Amino acid sequence: MKLNYPKEWYEKSALIEGDDEIGAGAPPVDWCAREDEGGIESRIALGQFVELWRRDKGWNAERLASEAGIDTVEVLELEKDPRHEPEPDAVYKLSKVFGVSSRKMMELAGLVQNRNPYLREEAIRFAAQASPLSKLTDVEQQSLEAFVSALTLTN
Amino acid sequence: MNESIVYLLKTENSTFVKASLFDQVTDDHLAMWNNEWVPVMKKHAGDLKLKDAPEDSHWNWKKKLAQVEHLLSYQSFALVCEGVLQGLMIVSNVRSAKIQEQFGKPVVYVEFVSTAPWNRAEINKPVKYRGVGRVFILAAIESSREMGYGGRVGLHSLPQAERFYENKCGFKRLGPESTHQNLCYFEMTSSQADLFCQNMK
Amino acid sequence: MSAKRTMTLNLTDREMLVLEQLAAKKDLSKTGVMKLALRLLQTVDERIEPGKKLVVEDESKNEKSELVFL
């Protein structure tokens, strides 16, 4: 595709455009994640879940990445940056390592439509109780176990 | 890959400067996106509540492109001016029109389009270059004509850009769609495309 | 512009009739229809993996039907 318009066209066009915003596009919900306020809470919970799960095992991010067969950077971004749009493949592989429902992990990551209304509440409760300390406290341990079972139960 | 010479208005000295529109996004363009756009967008979005951050501030162009670059049904565009990436667009060409008069006929659909953060009034006022949006719509129309689609173009506008597509490009507003996060769908007929190309709208 | 290659396509009367009908309906040349078909097939084929299905949804009737695809 090649444009063959004279300079004058662009001069007039830029004046018409002005300072307007021009962003367009939205992936269908099942294709790619888009964050809203609800989504970000789920993703914060997902990040904390990943971090607590591996710390409970005594693994560093590199070990978890290697067990799952994904990049270490993907693990770190998942844990630290709730704005990060995770790879569906990475979320799926992690769910296999954790032994939890891949569908629910995908929901938390905002990669598929939310089918479990209670999952978000569980996620917020979990995110509120967990804190990134070096060793898991008893409360964190209980919280992690409860969240693992919420992610494992099928409904 | 084709390179077209286009022009943008540089607001700093009110002059029109040459820019290059490429009909394929390359790794170099993605590196520019990552090194130049992302830090500015992250800083801006980080200063705001999430709901106030630009809708596309989290878009990962590298991943979007990786998903589609091997498919014949997608085409990507990059706009570079004075050595800096100014805009990115991905279009697809297997969707059908929704306006009654052209219903079912194929359209070029703008999957994603964004301008650099310094070209957005909400982040940087006055914006650095004007005209990026209409250059991309012109490219979408020409691409539609080249495919035999008669200039028909469709897109889902982000809320803050609806005015641009309706009033400044001549798209017809068809309303929000639940399949696309309730973003409003806009479509352009062949005759609207002709008017656009004459700068009548 | 990348180089283009030519091929001859032999169609039965019925296939040609469908091609002509689609060309009229889609407002495309016959070559345009064949190219669109190729793009569509590649796009759909890429998305259909084991365990996935292509569904046609009628929002007004709240009906979904599976589209059988190769």
Q: What is the pLDDT of residues B6-46, one digit of tens each?
A: 999 999 999 999 999 999 999 999 999 999 998 888 788 76
Domain count, chain B: 1
In the prediction, which pLDDT does B85 show?
Answer: 97
Rounded CA gap, B127 and A121, in Å? 42
Nearest to B150 among C1, C27, C43 (CB): C27
Pairwise pLDDT comparison (B135 vs B59), residue with the higher score: B135
Nearest to B55 among A15, A23, A40 (CB): A23
Within a domain: C19? yes
SS3 A109: coil
In this predicted structure, the answer to whether residue A52 has a pLDDT above a threshold of 50 is yes
Q: Is A2 on the interface with B (CB under 8 A)?
A: yes
Beta-strand pair B183-188/B172-177? antiparallel
Q: What is the CATH code for A35-152?
A: 1.10.260.40
Within a domain: C6? no
User: Is B72–C32 a contact, with Cβ atoms under 8 angstroms apart?
Assistant: no
Within a domain: C30? yes
User: Is B130–A25 a contact, with Cβ atoms under 8 angstroms apart?
Assistant: no
Chain B residues inside the 8 Å CB shell of A36 = 50-51
CATH number at residue B108: 3.40.630.30
What whole-number percentage of chain A has pLDDT above 70? 81
| Residue numbers of C between 21 and 50 with CB closer than 8 Å to B | 25-29, 32, 35-36, 38-40, 42-43, 46
Q: What is the DSSP string of A15-78?
A: HHHTT----B----TTTS----HHHHHHHHHHHHHHHHHHHHHT--HHHHHHHHTS-HHHHHHH
Whether B155 contacts B123, CB under 8 Å? no
Whether B86 contacts B119, CB under 8 Å? yes
Mean pLDDT in residue range B142-171:
96
Within a domain: C2? no
Within a domain: C47? yes
Within a domain: C31? yes
Best of B22, B67, B73, B99 to substitute, by most chain C Cβ atoms within 10 angstroms, is B73
Chain B residues inside the 8 Å CB shell of C46 = 71
Pairwise pLDDT comparison (A86 vs B72), residue with the higher score: B72
Q: What is the DSSP letter of B160?
A: G
Q: What is the DSSP string of B91-143?
A: EEEEEE--SGGGTTSEEEEEEEEEE-GGG-TTTSSS-SEE-HHHHHHHHHHHH
In this predicted structure, the answer to whether residue A29 has a pLDDT above a threshold of 50 is no
The string of pLDDT tens digits covering residues B117-131 is 999 998 898 899 999
User: Is B104–C25 a contact, with Cβ atoms under 8 angstroms apart?
Assistant: yes
Tracing tokens 């909400």 back to the chain, one arrives at B122
In this predicted structure, the answer to whether residue A127 has a pLDDT above a threshold of 90 is no
Rounded CA gap, A64 and A53, in Å? 10
Best of C36, C38, C44, C47 to substitute, by most chain B Cβ atoms within 10 angstroms, is C36
Whether B25 contacts B34, CB under 8 Å? no
In the prediction, which pLDDT does B114 show?
Answer: 94
A117 pLDDT tier (thresholds 50, 70, 90): low
Best of B68, B69, B71 to substitute, by most chain C Cβ atoms within 10 angstroms, is B71
Domain count, chain C: 1
Within a domain: C4? no
In the prediction, which pLDDT does A36 show?
Answer: 45
- Please compute Rg for chain A using Cα positions: 21
Q: Is B150 on the interface with C (CB under 8 A)?
A: yes
What whole-number percentage of chain C has pLDDT above 70? 90
Rounded CA gap, B113 and B147, in Å? 20
The string of pLDDT tens digits covering residues B39-70 is 888 788 766 655 566 767 767 888 889 888 89
Touching B (3+ Cβ pairs <8 A), the chains are A, C
Mean pLDDT in residue range B175-194:
92
Domain that holds residue B187: 3-197
A130 pLDDT tier (thresholds 50, 70, 90): low
Domain that holds residue C56: 13-67
A33 pLDDT tier (thresholds 50, 70, 90): very low
- Angle at which helices A88-98 and A61-68 cross, to 10°: 100
Q: Give the CA distances from residue B193 to residues A72, B60, B145, B169, B201, in Å, rounded to whole numbers and listed in that order.
A: 47, 30, 10, 9, 9
Chain B residues inside the 8 Å CB shell of A91 = none
The neighbouring-strand residues paired with C66 are: C55
